[in-house]
Amino acid sequence: MPLRTKFQRHFRRKIEQFVRELNPAYWPLGAFVLVHDTMQYLLHSPTTPYSYTRSRFPTQRSLAIVMQWITRAQDASQDGGIAAYASLYGGFGPSYPETTGYLIPTLIDYGTMSGDWSYVERAVRAADWLVGLQSRDGAFPGGFALSSDGPSVFNTGQILFGLLAVFQRTGDEKYRRAALRAGQWLVSVQSSDGSWQQYTYEGKSHVYYTMVSWALAELYKATEEPTFGRAVRHNLDWVLTQQKPNGWFEGYNLRHRPIYLHFIAYTLQGLLEAASIIGPTQVIEAVQKPAELLLRKFELKKSLSGAYSPEWHPQALYMCMTGNAQMAIVWQRLSQITNDLRFFNAALKMHELLKASLWYRGPYILRGAVKGSFPIWGRYLTFRYPNWAAKFTADSFMIELQLLKTLYSKEMPCES
Amino acid sequence: MRIVVLAANIYSERALATLVALHKAGFTPIACVCLSTLSLSTIVRKLAQYGPKNFVLYVVRRLNMFRGGRHLKQFQDLQFDNPYLEHRLKYHNIAFSDVASACTEYNIHLCYCKDVNSEKVLSFLRKFDIDLIVYAGGGILRNGLIKTPKIGVLNAHGGILPEYRGMNVMEWSLLQGDQIGVTVHFIDSKIDTGQICFVNKVPVSGEDGSITALRNRIVDTTVDALVEAVRMLAKGEMRTKPQAPEEGKQYFTMHEKLLELAELKLNHIVDPLLK
């Protein structure tokens, strides 16, 4: 079936669902966003080579409103965790342990950068909530808060980021102990081939669990415990065996789901960051190939598809905004590692795309929120604004500011 | 030699300067293929390129030029964006300001088109049994057009090949602290990967106060380089060098934040030269 027909059917189904499930209180807002996004999508014509080369909004301003949205998502949940998303169906969702975990470093980094210590306090509050969810064996549960899901490798890995960041900021041993127990549990359930198969999504191994490897690599850096380093190397070796000559990684193993850009970028980001701590240079080369391929696609088309096939053919007519922000991070980190400024250039343009999709005024659930899909009825988190999209967007903006500062300090050593 | 020049539009200063320079060197082109100015895609592209304010200024200036007549008697009335090209035309006592007028003056056949790869253009070119196409703008060329002339399609690229392919290569070279220059090469089906004729390095001088000024000088250099290449081809002195795709990188349009950095880098080079 042609992509356009599939998209039209999906659009009709989503509109019907939207009308059926929408909370009456959100009708005016939902209808407005729907019409607005439809218009923007129809007018989105990136036909010129000059698209996204100019800054319409200062990055600091965009970063500030995204961070403010994250604080509102935390305040909405009241347990210290951060609401998984804001939805046009009915406002903020429940707290989400996995993403609360990796939002903690973002809160701390922004607090340090802006000098607003309330963000650090928020990070500590979120970490305290997470510590309370840890089971005796060190694992953290999957799913949303209060769900009865069993232990989850991916969630434990992402929460590890938060525990380590708070320990490094406060020096409180309870977070270190929790992080160590989580790390030991992750090592104990790793399969003999280096992947994770137990306590995973659908009980299968997934290449994007490189994000778990990255968390373990951070733990290895903090504790210098060789077991963690070995586990990371073992997983990276397994992931590298999954790479095809065209740069694509096999083994996403997501049944009935397209391979969203979000998962592709997870794999690349995890590989890159884990390798930059542990050291094997061939991993960086393995990341560079697909990252450069996506850079070329973005530069030529002025957007990335929301999902791709193993032949790198676009599988969606919508964009996955989380994946977009993550790719901007991957490109910026590659630019730092390889000194190739083409990656930074593409990330700057991607930032313009992300900034243009934000609401700078308007209702509090939308102001500063990053949508799951553009247009909002796209398949990835339809009609929702996930907190992880905001997290990766904020992280990417912070890397931009840091990179620009470094580049300017090279040019103007006296002034800096 | 039967030469055809490709022009981005009738107001293209680069194409006009190339036509004049070829004529003065004794290689008057037989025809010129020119993209239509008033198409929606051109308007959208210019709007995005210049921004709304500068776009209006651009339109007003072009309308003024049209109102003043194509043949302007006073050289002072010529309104060029590129002062180097303006100076070059004044030097040659040229009293016209667009490609169409130059074609009338030199008896060059002119073909307007929406796409240089269209069948209309190909059949127009087949009539003349051409030896060489000189590229002075007009978008991406497809194989049909590339294979039409006997010798090939000559282009002067504003960067050093094979290292710097693609767009904004002068700015990219500056930003990365590399030498800038112009490469004359034959166009093939990929971007800037054809056989290299020669490279002319362009050292930064005290008069290059901004990226725009330096870019203007590079464009001026490309005109001379193209004439030089045509002369070498006519004398049979041209020796080309192939380039492998993996030898260089392709660059894309530079974001304005990096352009500011490149400008800063240029100032660091120019300031000591001025002192």
Q: Give the minimum alpha-carbon distance from A344 to chain B in angstroms, rounded to a whole number.
A: 9
B252/A50 touch (CB, cutoff 8 Å), yes or no = no
**Residue B176: its chain A contacts at CB < 8 A?**
341
Q: Give the minimum alpha-carbon distance from B252 to chain A in angstroms, rounded to a whole number.
A: 7
Q: Give the minimum alpha-carbon distance from A348 to chain B in angstroms, rounded to a whole number.
A: 7
**Residue B258: its chain A contacts at CB < 8 A?**
341, 344-345, 348
Q: Tell me the CA distances in angstroms from A100 to A93, A122, A372, one per residue in order.
A: 13, 11, 17
Question: Are B58 and B50 within 8 A, CB to CB?
Answer: yes
Amino acid A416: pLDDT? 39
Amino acid B79: pLDDT? 55
Q: Is the pTM of this model over 0.80?
A: yes
Higher pLDDT, B134 or B44: B134
Angle of helix A210-223 relative to helix A226-241, nearest 10 degrees, comes to 160
Which residues, including other chains, have CB under 8 Å from residue A350's CB and lie 6 or more apart? A52, A298, A324, A325, A327, A328, A331, A396
Higher pLDDT, A368 or A6: A368
Cα gap A400→A395, rounded to integer Å? 9
Q: Which residue from A117, A118, A122, A86 is spatially nearest to A104, judged by alpha carbons? A: A122
Amino acid A91: pLDDT? 86
- φ, ψ at A304 (rounded to 5°): -110, 150
Higher pLDDT, B105 or A6: B105
- What confidence tens digit (pLDDT) does each residue in A365-397 have? 899 999 999 988 888 888 899 999 999 999 999
A296/B250 touch (CB, cutoff 8 Å), yes or no = yes
- What confidence tens digit (pLDDT) does each residue in A259-308 have? 999 999 999 999 999 999 997 778 899 999 999 999 999 998 888 999 99
SS (H, E, C) chain A: CCHHHHHHHHHHHHHHHHHHHCCHHHHHHHHHHHHHHHHHHHHCCCCCCCCCCCCCCCHHHHHHHHHHHHHHHHHHHCCCCCECEEECCCEECCECHHHHHHHHHHHHHHHHHHCCCHHHHHHHHHHHHHHCCCCCCCCCECCCCCCCCCECHHHHHHHHHHHHHHHHHHCCHHHHHHHHHHHHHHHHCCCCCCCCCCCCHHHCCCHHHHHHHHHHHHHHHHHCCHHHHHHHHHHHHHHHHCECCCCCECCCCCCCCCCEHHHHHHHHHHHHHHHHHHCCHHHHHHHHHHHHHHHHHHHHHCCCCCEECCCCCECCCCEEHHHHHHHHHHHHHHHHHHCCHHHHHHHHHHHHHHHHCCECCCCCCCECCCCCEECCCCCCCCCEEEHHHHHHHHHHHHHHHHHHHHHHHHHCCCCC
**Residue B171: its chain A contacts at CB < 8 A?**
none
Residues written for chain B = 275
Amino acid A405: pLDDT? 95
**Residue B257: its chain A contacts at CB < 8 A?**
55, 348, 404
Q: Which residue from A359, A384, A360 is spatially nearest to A371, judged by alpha carbons? A: A384
What's the CATH architecture for A3-36+58-406? Alpha/alpha barrel (1.50)
Element (H or E) spanning B204, and its range?
none
Question: What mean pLDDT is predicted for residues B98-107?
Answer: 89
| Percent of chain A topping pLDDT 70 | 94
pLDDT category at A13 given cuts 50, 70, 90 is confident
Query: Chain B, 238-267: which have a CB under 8 Å from a chain A CB?
Result: 249-258, 261, 264-265
Answer whether residue A67 shows pLDDT above 90.
yes
| Nearest neighbour of B254 by CB, restricted to A340, A345, A404 | A345
**Residue B253: its chain A contacts at CB < 8 A?**
49-50, 53, 299
Amino acid A375: pLDDT? 87
- Please give the structure tokens belonging to residue A86: 């804001």
* Chain A interface, best mutation among B255, B256, B258, B268, by max A CB count within 10 A: B255
| Percent of chain B topping pLDDT 90 | 53
Domain residue limits, chain A:
3-36+58-406
Q: Give the minimum alpha-carbon distance from A52 to chain B in angstroms, rounded to a whole number.
A: 8
- What confidence tens digit (pLDDT) does each residue in A176-235 have? 999 999 999 999 999 999 999 999 888 888 999 999 999 999 999 999 999 999 999 999
pLDDT category at A50 given cuts 50, 70, 90 is low
Cα gap A104→A90, rounded to integer Å? 25
B249/A407 touch (CB, cutoff 8 Å), yes or no = no
Amino acid A51: pLDDT? 67
- What confidence tens digit (pLDDT) does each residue in B133-146 have? 999 988 889 999 99
| Nearest neighbour of B255 by CB, restricted to A45, A348, A411 | A348
**Residue A348: its chain B contacts at CB < 8 A?**
255, 257-258
| Percent of chain B topping pLDDT 70 | 90
Lowest mean pLDDT among A141-145, A314-318, A378-382: A141-145
Count of CB atoms situated within 10 Å of the CB of A297: 16
Answer whether residue B71 shows pLDDT above 50.
no
Residue in chain A lying closest to B249 (CA)? A342
Amino acid A247: pLDDT? 95
Cα gap B145→B116, rounded to integer Å? 8
* Chain A interface, best mutation among B163, B164, B252, by max A CB count within 10 A: B252
- Under CATH, to which class is B3-36+99-274 assigned? alpha beta
Cα gap A16→A340, rounded to integer Å? 47
pLDDT category at A344 given cuts 50, 70, 90 is very high
Amino acid A26: pLDDT? 76
Amino acid B76: pLDDT? 42
Amino acid B22: pLDDT? 94
Lowest mean pLDDT among B23-27, B86-90, B194-198: B86-90
B175 contact A CB<8A = yes
**Residue B265: its chain A contacts at CB < 8 A?**
411
